[in-house]
Amino acid sequence: MSTQTQTRGKGFSPGQLVRRPETGSLIGFVVVYVFFAVLGGPVFLGAPGWSSWLNIAAEVGIIALPVGLLMIAGEFDISVGSVVPASAMMTAMLSGHYDLPAFVGIAGGLGVGLLVGLVNGLLVTRTTIPSLIVTIGVMFAVMGLTLGFAVLIRGSTSVSYVPDPLTKALLGQFINGMFNVSILWWMGFVAVFFFFLHVSPLGNWTYAIGGDRESARNAGIPTSQVTIGLFMASGFAAAFVGVAQVMTYQTAQVAGGQAFIFNSIMCVVIGGVVLTGGAGSILGIVLGTMTFAVVNQGIFFASLDPNIGSIIIGALLLTAVLSNDTFRALATSAATKKKAG
């Protein structure tokens, strides 16, 4: 990755541009956006359209970033689907049910995410069980704990909480009545993860772990710590979305959040991250998320049957992975030719 950034700095070449992993994602986004712009008309092109898909993109996008990083490192996190409602429930329980200050509830909610991430990370690094299975197990356990405690303490599956104006403004306000403030948070997350993956040495470590874990460990990379850290990051991001949901909708539900599991994976894969690890970029993940959100929301503006949206997303997913295959083959073959010459 670092070599790619360096070569790009030296000059502009169309060949290199085509071989960049994000090119396919960018083309996909443009095609999808133009398609829905034609069908959806000026409403979709205006503020209502932008706000509707950006709101969706922000929610999924915050989770998709660390999920993508984990995938670059060769791991999965299914448990995000249960962390979103669990942290929302914790926040609403602490601040709504027990009337504690908002920051206690927020800290509690985020703490749930970090704790679940730590458990995931420890189980994955200390045992030989694949992370897909570990996080499915943890997902079920967290789902059970959330439902069990909600019914035990509150006697119902939903808890409401009215945040004070400052907290609401920071985490759950609609700017202009349309744009959710979480879009700004998403941009913040993007900046932080961009720095992490593409600037700091930790990013290279992540690629190395995904490429070959054994070699990475032999090269002195603390693979276990990095993996645990990445799982905690994805737990934290999912918890953040849960907390933001409470502040926005003023209620926490036990169910829900399941959709985030596959949606975040789809955003990441459409964005060009390779499922088996070792390749991918933040820009790609962001483009993948935006593409997903445009299809998801554009379908309503295009006055098509909403179910056609999932057909499009399925087709898009396949096209994305198949073209990634081609792009990667191009990139690797181009590199070998240069060396041989």
Partner 1 sequence: MDMIASLLRKPASAAVLSLIGVIAFYVLVGGVDLGKMMGAASWVNYAARIGIVAIPIGLLMISGEIDISIGAMIPAGAMTTAIISGHYELPMIFGILGALAIGVIVGTVNGVLAVRTTVPTLIITLATLVAMQGIVLAGSKLLTGSASVPLNAPDWAKTLFGHLLFGGSHQVIIVWWVIFAAVFWFIMHKTKYGNWIFAMGGDKDSARNAGIPVDRLTVLLYILTATSAAFVGMCHATLFNSAQVSGGMNDIFNIIVSVVVGGVLLTGGYGSVAGVFVGTLTFAIVNKGIDFTAIDRNWSNLIIGLMLLFAVALNEFFRRAALSYAPKRKTAETVLKPRVKEA
- Per DSSP, the three-state class of 100 is coil
Instruction: Please choose, out of 26-34, 60-68, 232-240, 320-328, the segment that lies near partner 1 by the rule CB under 8 A.
Output: 320-328
Applying CB under 8 A, which of residues 64, 138, 159, 238 lies at the interface with partner 1?
138
Contact mark string toward partner 1, 91..130, x via CB under 8 A = --------------------------------x---xxxx
Q: How far, in Å, CA of 95 to CA of 104, rounded?
A: 7
| From candidates 6, 305, 336, 337, binder to partner 1 by CB under 8 A | 305
Binding mask 260-299 for partner 1 (x = CB under 8 A): --x--xx--x-----xx-----------------------
Query: Of these, 27, 45, 133, 170, which contacts partner 1 (CB under 8 A)?
Result: 133
Q: Which two tokens stand for residue 178?
A: 């349309």
Find the largest Cα–Cα distance for the chain. Answer: 72
In 59-70, which positions are buried (b, 16+ CB within 10 angstroms) versus exposed (e)?
bbbbbbbbbbbb
Q: 3-state secondary structure string, 216-268?
A: HHHCCCCHHHHHHHHHHHHHHHHHHHHHHHHHHHCEEECCCCHHHHHHHHHHH
Q: Which helix (H) or strand (E) element contains residue 158? A: strand 158-160
Of 83-91, 205-213, 243-251, 302-310, the segment contacting partner 1 by CB under 8 A is 302-310
Alpha carbon distance 332, 338 (integer Å)? 10
Tokens of 333: 């073959």
Nearer to partner 1, 86 or 241 (CB): 86
Residue with tokens 């997913």, as numbered in its chain: 317
Whichever of 152 and 340 has its CB closer to partner 1, that residue is: 152
For residues 191 and 283, what is the distance between their CA atoms, to the nearest angstrom? Answer: 10
Q: Which of 192, 314, 330, 335 binds partner 1 (CB under 8 A)?
A: 314
3-state secondary structure of 99: coil
Please, which residue, 106 or 124, has the CB nearer to partner 1?
124
Residue 318 in the binding site for partner 1 (CB under 8 A): yes
- Contacts to partner 1 by CB under 8 A: 78, 123, 127-130, 132-134, 136-145, 147-148, 151-152, 258, 262, 265-266, 269, 275-276, 305, 307-315, 317-318, 321-322, 325
